[in-house]
């Protein structure tokens, strides 16, 4: 048989292929970025790394010589006499079918975030890309989505149009459903007066929002301590775990408190600050009509300007400073209104009278001795 006849016979024995056709072949060579397939054609088929997967992979870790795999013909002749094949497009078509089923069935999918984009998140389901817009990532606006990078998230497909390369995922709807479930569970088990654990979620000038497990409660600045709180951010950090008291529940709003009755500084106040008692405290703040003296955490007493001294005082700041320690007499105690009035003047007068009485007693004693 002549060489020409042998060549013709060999040509006739080989398959014919066309662009877009799916072929099957055996791996005869693998490099990091290229797979060579024997597809029964006069030229071998080549699958580049870019046509194997949308993910950065080392092809030597994906296939080995001798493996049989399917691929789609992109070009019968890539210009170098080889057949250019694609594997990822078959996988993408299969992935799209999977996503279409999930879209029709409203199935919940879970996958890692492949990329954080300016407008949202890109998620890969096999070789198909799903885009989750920033507005559909959560039930609240999140300016920084970087915390989701590489993390697995769950979502549903709410728009499916592979021809326009528009497959939209929605995580927000799942977050809302989960919060409703947690909200119901929480309200079923809590009641006013109960102590519960929570995590500080956000801090503002007027208070802190505490996550109680899917529902946020407000810990107002006035309920953070029996004492005075000027800045909540000095007391708490986001992420702190705290035990709080359920003060009130109205619809879905929960008011919290850290004023536990066991720590109420007014509990023994009637005994400690009875009228006539001598007490010591620090000047906490001042007004034109007097100074407020802190006798203990959560217990302030008013030292009226007229009671600061036996002499006339125009305004408290003329003789006192914030932080000064003062000793005075309790001249009024109102437990119901939680008001205590102090007087340095009364204390001084009482001391003078006491000294005068002692002098009289001494004189009387001396006179008795002389007799």
pLDDT of residue 28: 94
Given 1.25.40.10, 1.10.1060.10, 3.40.50.620, 2.40.50.140, which CATH number is that of 191-262?
2.40.50.140
pLDDT of residue 371: 59
**25-29, 227-231, 278-282: the lowest-pLDDT one:** 227-231
Q: Looking at the whole model, is its pTM more than 0.75?
A: no
- The helix (run of H) or strand (run of E) holding residue 132 is strand 128-133
What are the structural domain ranges in the chain? 13-86, 100-175, 191-262, 269-349
Three-state DSSP at 181 gives: helix
* pLDDT tens per residue, range 169-228: 999 999 999 988 988 999 998 999 999 999 999 999 999 999 998 789 999 999 999 888
- Residue 237: C-alpha distances to residues 199, 212, 331 (Å): 10, 16, 41
Q: What number is the average pLDDT over the span 19-46?
A: 92
Whether domain 100-175 has CATH 3.30.460.80: the reply is no
Residue 4 has pLDDT above 60, yes or no: no
For 283: left if phi > 0, alpha if psi spans -120 to 50, otherwise beta; the answer is beta
Distance CA(282)–CA(289), nearest Å, equals 17
pLDDT interval class at 88 (50, 70, 90): confident
User: Radius of gyration over alpha carbons of the chain, in Å?
Assistant: 41
- Residue 87: C-alpha distances to residues 72, 75, 132 (Å): 6, 13, 26
pLDDT of residue 359: 67
Judge whether 191-262 and 269-349 match in fold.
Answer: yes
pLDDT of residue 229: 87
Fold that domain 13-86 belongs to in CATH: OB fold (Dihydrolipoamide Acetyltransferase, E2P) (2.40.50)
Query: Both tokens of residue 324?
Result: 């000064």
pLDDT of residue 202: 93
Into which CATH architecture does domain 269-349 fall?
A: Beta Barrel (2.40)
pLDDT interval class at 370 (50, 70, 90): low
Burial (CB count <10 Å: 0-12, 13-18, 19+), residue 171: buried
Query: Both tokens of residue 126?
Result: 């096999």
The sign of the CA dihedral 103, 104, 108, 110 is negative
Greater pLDDT, 184 or 80: 184
pLDDT of residue 81: 79
Q: pLDDT above 70 covers what percent of the chain?
A: 92
């Amino acid at each position: 048989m002549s060489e020409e006849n042998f060549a013709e016979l060999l040509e006739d024995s080989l398959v014919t292929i066309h662009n877009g056709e799916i072929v099957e072949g055996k791996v005869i060579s693998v490099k990091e970025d290229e797979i060579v397939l024997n597809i029964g054609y006069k030229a071998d088929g080549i699958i580049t790394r870019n046509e194997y997967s949308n993910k950065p992979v080392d092809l030597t870790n994906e296939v080995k010589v001798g493996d049989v795999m399917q691929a789609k013909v992109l070009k019968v002749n890539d210009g170098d006499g080889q057949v250019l094949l694609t594997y990822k497009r078959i996988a993408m078509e299969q992935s799209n079918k999977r996503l279409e089923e999930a879209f029709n069935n409203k199935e919940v999918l879970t996958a890692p975030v492949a990329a954080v984009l300016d407008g949202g998140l890109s998620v890969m389901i096999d070789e198909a890309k799903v885009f989750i817009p920033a507005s559909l990532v959560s039930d609240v606006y999140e300016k920084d989505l970087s915390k989701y990078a590489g993390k697995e998230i769950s979502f549903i497909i709410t728009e499916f149009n592979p021809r326009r390369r528009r497959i939209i995922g929605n995580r927000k709807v799942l977050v809302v459903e989960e919060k409703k479930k947690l909200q119901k569970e929480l309200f079923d088990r809590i009641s006013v007066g109960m102590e519960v654990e929570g995590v500080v979620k956000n801090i503002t000038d007027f208070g802190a929002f505490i996550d109680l497990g899917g529902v946020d409660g407000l810990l107002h600045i006035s309920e953070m301590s029996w004492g005075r709180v000027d800045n909540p951010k000095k007391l708490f950090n986001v992420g702190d775990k705290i035990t709080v008291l359920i003060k009130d529940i109205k619809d879905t709003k929960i008011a919290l408190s850290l004023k536990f009755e066991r720590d109420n500084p007014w509990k023994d106040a009637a005994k400690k600050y009875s009228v006539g008692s001598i007490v010591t405290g620090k000047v906490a703040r001042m007004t034109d009509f007097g100074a407020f003296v802190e006798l203990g955490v959560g217990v302030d007493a008013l030292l009226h300007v007229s009671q600061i001294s036996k002499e006339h005082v125009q305004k408290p700041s003329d003789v006192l400073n914030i932080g000064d320690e003062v000793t005075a007499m309790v001249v009024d105690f109102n437990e119901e209104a939680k008001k205590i009035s102090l007087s340095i003047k009364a204390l001084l007068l009482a001391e003078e009278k006491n000294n005068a009485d002692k002098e009289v007693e001494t004189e009387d004693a001396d006179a008795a001795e002389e007799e």
